[in-house]
A and B are shown apart, each in its own frame.
Chain A
Amino acid sequence: EAQVTQNPRYLITVTGKKLTVTCSQNMNHEYMSWYRQDPGLGLRQIYYSMNVEVTDKGDVPEGYKVSRKEKRNFPLILESPSPNQTSLYFCASSHWQRTNTEAFFGQGTRLTVV
C-alpha cells in the first residue's frame, strides 16, 4: 500500500530537548516536504527536498533542520524546541517535475512543547 508514515503521532516535550520526527514514504517519490498546520494559518511549508542530498527552506524554516540521506526518509529535527513550535506537523511526498503528480500526506504529528 502506498503510504507516507510519520512517527510519532503525538509528542509532548520540554523546551530545549532535541527531538526528531521521522517521515518515510514507499512510493519512490523524489519530492518530500514538511508542513506545520496552525489554526487560521493553514499549511505552511517548513522545508522541502527535491531529491537525495537536496534540501531547501520553505516559508517557515527557523528552528528546524532536515536531512535527506536516503530517498525514502526525510526526518524533521528540532534542535532546541520552543513553545511556539507547538503545532500539527505533516510530511508529504510526490514525484518531482512530472506532469501528473499529487502530494500524499502522512497521518500527522501533534507536537506540544512545554
Chain B
Amino acid sequence: AQSVSQHNHHVILSEAASLELGCNYSYGGTVNLFWYVQYPGQHLQLLLKYFSGDPLVKGIKGFEAEFIKSKFSFNLRKPSVQWSDTAEYFCAVNAPNRDDKIIFGKGTRLHILP
C-alpha cells in the first residue's frame, strides 16, 4: 500500500529563516503529489501540486517543492519564512492509475517565531 512519510513533526524557525520540510512516498508508479496547509483553526487548503512536467513546482505564498523521482521525495521549501506561515503542513500522494486514494502524511507543525 502507498504511504507518505513526513520526517519532521514539529519545526520551529525564526522569521526570515529558510525552510525545507521533507516528504517521501512509497509508491513506484505514476503519482500526483500535493502539499496542503492548515492555518490555525482552519481547514486544509492546497499549497501546491505536481501532476507532470517540470519537477520544480511553485505554489502560493512563495512556497515551492521539488519532485525527485529517484528519491521518491517531494520536499517543500521556502527561502524566507514569515510569522504568518505558522501552520500545519501535510504532504499527500495519490496514484491515479491505481486505487486513486489520496494518502496524507501525518503532518508537520511549523511554528515561526516573530
- A residues contacting B by CB (< 8 A) are 31, 33, 35, 40-43, 45, 48, 50, 90, 92, 94, 96-108
Contacts and interface: CB of A to CB of B under 8 A. Distances in A.
A98 B32 CA distance: 10
Contact of A43 (B51, B100, B101, B104): B104
Nearest to A30: B100
A48 B103 CA distance: 12
Contact of B49 (A96, A98, A102, A108): A102
Contact of B44 (A33, A41, A90): A90
B106 A41 contact: yes
Q: Which 9 A-B pairs have the closest CB atoms?
A: A42-B106, A105-B44, A43-B104, A42-B107, A105-B43, A100-B51, A107-B43, A108-B43, A97-B100
Contact of B107 (A33, A43, A101, A108): A43
A42 B90 contact: yes
B35 to A, nearest CB: 11
Given A42-B107, A90-B43, A94-B102, A99 B96 contact: yes
Nearest to B45: A105
Interface string B29-40: 000101010000
Nearest to A35: B104
12 contacts: A31-B100, A40-B106, A42-B105, A42-B107, A43-B90, A43-B104, A43-B107, A45-B101, A98-B96, A99-B96, A102-B46, A103-B36
A100 B43 contact: no
Interface string B81-114: 0000000001010101000111011110000000
B26 to A, nearest CB: 15
A40 B10 CA distance: 10
A34 to B, nearest CB: 13
A33 B9 CA distance: 24
B24 to A, nearest CB: 15
A101 B94 contact: yes
Most chain B Cβ neighbours within 10 Å, of A43, A97, A106: A43
